[in-house]
Amino acid sequence: MTDMSEIASLEARLAVAGDVPGASGGRLEARDVSAWFGKRLVLANVDLTMEPGHVTALIGPSGCGKSTFLRTLNRMHELVHGAAIGGEIFLDGVDIYGPAASPATTRRRIGMVFQKPNPFPTMSIADNVLSGLKLSRIKRTDAGDIVERSLTRAGLWREVKDRLKTPGGDLSGGQQQRLCIARALAIEPEVLLMDEPCSALDPGSTRRVEETIEEISHQVTVVIVTHNMQQALRVSDRCAFFLADENEPGRIVEAGSTTQLFTNPRDSRTEDYVNGRFG
Amino acid sequence: MTAIASPERRATRHLDVAGLAQAGACALMAVVVTALLFAISPLDGTLGFGLVAYALFLTAYAGVLTLTIGPLKRNDCLATVIIASVALLTFVPLVLILGFVVLKGVPGLTNAFFTQTMETVGPLDPPDVGGARHAIVGTLQQVGIAVLISVPFGVLTAVFLSEFAGRRVARVIRFLVDAMSGIPSIVAGLFIYTLFVLRLGHGFSGLNAGLALSVLMLPTVTRTAEEVLALVPGSLREAALALGAPDWRMVVRVVLPTARTGLITAVVLGVARVAGETAPLLMTALGSDGMNTNPFEGQQSSLPLFVFKLIRNPLEGQVTRAWAGALVLIAIVLVLFTVARLAAARLRRETR
């Protein structure tokens, strides 16, 4: 077990050499990350590097700690009462849990899209997009441009450009989720974390969101948690397979390029999982 | 092109004429039998008549239902009847009170009632001389002061309880607020009386009345606001925090706006709680017959004090004025309710 995760982490670190030329975005590096809820250890010794220009997918059965890991990456984990974390997470070489970093500034650089679309119901579509700037008191004179650019990047502009003043809650579920993506992109984060962003969406909306991920992946480092093997295969360049044995914390079984993980997995459990034999 | 027959709607609920007739017959029978019973026996009284008739009706109806639709559906029917009649019963006092006050109060609603005070009114003057203008102004000012004090404090306390306080601290504060809501209103009045009127030498004033009312209003506003804030989905808070918002910006820009219709309700409930309070005003505003538009100095009247003072008077004209005052007090609260409801509905329509 330990050997396997060490091999996996070695893999992940070796992969640092594989930067995509011309891609911008932040490099996230998790070193020996563990997480607790109260006394219960739910995630142990995770090493993973998420590189600019790559989409990293976190896969694994329910309760394996992949969502918890995602939430440690922008300090959302600590919002839960009694939650704790161990290890280090570096954003472009600086520890986001270090004394110089604050949760708010970290979250401004590492955006997040949630499982269920959660646009602010009291705000119009345009205000939703700008809400991140307003919430962190960033004054911008080109608000109109930001709205158009962010909605375009999220693939929603053409559908809503004539009704920017209507409430965000009036949109369909798929549109709401893309609005949330636009909202996260408007503050120009270096990394975008997505926690099963399509699990509440229909196939058409899912396809639009996946196209959006593809388009933004050159400017933003994307990390996505998904239960859907096909989706991981479609959108991600790199994959990390999480697994938790009964009453054991979740660990990374195997991490590497998506093609390798799906076609030639090193670990038999990975093979079983990606072929749908459990989970 | 063939004409398509337009589809026809089918009724899914049918008016059960036979069933209603059964119930009606049973009710009639019950009343008649009770009347006979009361005629031949020494039984007496309206309440007793109603109870006996109702018991007879239920027994007879249960018997009829057992014969017609069987015991299982009978229980269902009986439960419906009992629940409906109890619901109707709770509605009766409300209608009676409102109707009574309207009946008694309308004759006193003259033009003078809204434009004049009681300063120069003699005891035998007819109702079209003298009015409650001073009392209406007093009530509006005193309740307004109470709102100005308890809404900010109440909402901020609620925000602290729901967003920032740890579980143990929240429990202690919640307990204190609940205890505060149990303070008898006369005790709140005594508190302001000894502290502000006597000790600090402010004398009687509308401001002191507003302070006493705010003591009573604060727990209502706090607890209602807290419950409303708890209804704001946690996912919205997470969304705001994930965008890099500091806690207080999240509260101001996301949580409070999302809860705003509920917060309006909290304020309305608070106002309804104190608008009719009389006891604390006796010791703080004291009441007056003349107009005093300055709430910071001097005795001031209010509608409850106006009613309290005049209803004890044996003279017809004064009693009529008192009822008119009660009616206006109800109307003011009703108008506030309606305005708040409309505002809330409008906000909801805008945002959904």
Any idea what the CATH number is for the domain that residue A91 is in? 3.40.50.300
Q: Rounded mean pLDDT of B148-154?
A: 96
On whether any CB of chain B is under 8 Å from the CB of A137, the answer is yes
Q: How many domains does chain A have?
A: 1
Task: List pLDDT tens digits, range B104-114.
Answer: 999 989 888 99
Please check whether residue A145 lies inside any domain of the structure. Answer: yes
Collapsed DSSP state (helix, strand, coil) of residue B75: helix
Q: What is the dihedral of CA A212, A213, A217, A222, to 10 degrees?
A: 150
Residue A279 in any domain: the answer is: no
Q: Smallest Cα–Cα separation from B271: which of B208, B338, B316, B323?
A: B338
Write down the ipTM of this complex. Answer: 0.87
Residue B61 CB partners (closer than 8 Å, separation 6+): B22, B23, B26, B27, B77, B78, B81
| Tens of pLDDT, residues A6-60 | 555 444 444 444 455 667 888 999 999 999 999 999 999 999 999 998 999 999 9
**Burial class of residue A94, CB neighbours in 10 A (0-12, 13-18, 19+):** exposed
The dihedral built from the CA positions of residue A220, A223, A225 and A231, taken in this order, carries a sign that is positive
**What is the spatial distance between Cα A131 and Cα A125, in angstroms, rounded to a whole number?**
10
Q: Does B211 touch chain A (CB under 8 A)?
A: no
List residues bridging with A56 in a β-sheet: A223, A238
Burial of B124 (0-12, 13-18, 19+ CB in 10 A): exposed
Q: Tell me the residue range of the domain where A247 lies.
A: 2-274
Q: Token pair of A113, please?
A: 């899209």
Whether the per-residue pLDDT at A93 is higher than 60: the answer is: yes
Please give the model's pTM, rounded to 2 decimal places: 0.82
Asked if residue A165 belongs to a domain, the reply is yes
At B137, the pLDDT band (50, 70, 90 cuts) reads very high
Of B245, B246, B258, the CB nearest to A122: B258
Q: Give the separation between CA A242 and CA A12, rounded to whole angstroms.
A: 14
Cβ distance of B239 and A120 shorter than 8 Å: yes
pLDDT exceeds 90 at position B95: yes
A interface test, pick of B243, B251, B260 with most A CB neighbours within 10 Å: B243
Q: State how far the Cα of A171 lies from the Cα of A168, in Å rounded to an integer.
A: 6
Question: In chain B, which residue's Cα lies nearest the Cα of A104?
Answer: B244
More confident residue, B10 or A22: B10
Q: Are strands A40-50 and A28-37 parallel, antiparallel or unpaired?
A: antiparallel
Domain for residue A173, yes or no?
A: yes
Inter-chain CB proximity B233 and A118 less than 8 Å: yes
For residue B254, the chain A residues in CB contact (below 8 A) are 120, 122, 131, 135
Give how far A107 is from chain B: nearest CA, Å: 5
**Contact A167/B236, CB-based, under 8 Å?**
no
Distances (CA, A) of A109 to A20, A98, A220, B209: 20, 15, 10, 53
By CA distance, what is A116's nearest residue in B? B235
Residue A123 lies in a domain: yes
Question: CA of A250 to nearest chain B CA: how many angstroms apart?
Answer: 24
What number of H helices and E strands is found in chain A?
11, 10
pLDDT at B1: 55
Q: Determine the Cα–Cα distance for residues B225 and B162; give it in Å rounded to an integer.
A: 9
CA A26 to CA A52: how far, in whole Å?
6
Interchain contact A135–B (C-beta under 8 A): yes
Chain B interface includes A111 (CB < 8 A)? yes
Kindly report the nearest CA distance between residue B12 and chain A, in angstroms. Answer: 32
B133-351 fold: MetI-like fold (1.10.3720)
Tokens 């910006």 locate to B249
Q: Where are the alpha helices (DSSP H) in A61-142?
A: 66-72, 103-109, 125-135
Domain regions of chain B by residue span: 19-107, 133-351
What confidence score (pLDDT) does residue A7 get? 52
User: Of B244, B260, B350, which has the smallest distance from its Cβ to A105's Cβ?
Assistant: B244
- Report residue B103 as tokens: 């009946």
Work out whether strand A40-50 and strand A94-95 pair parallel, antiparallel, or are unpaired. Answer: unpaired
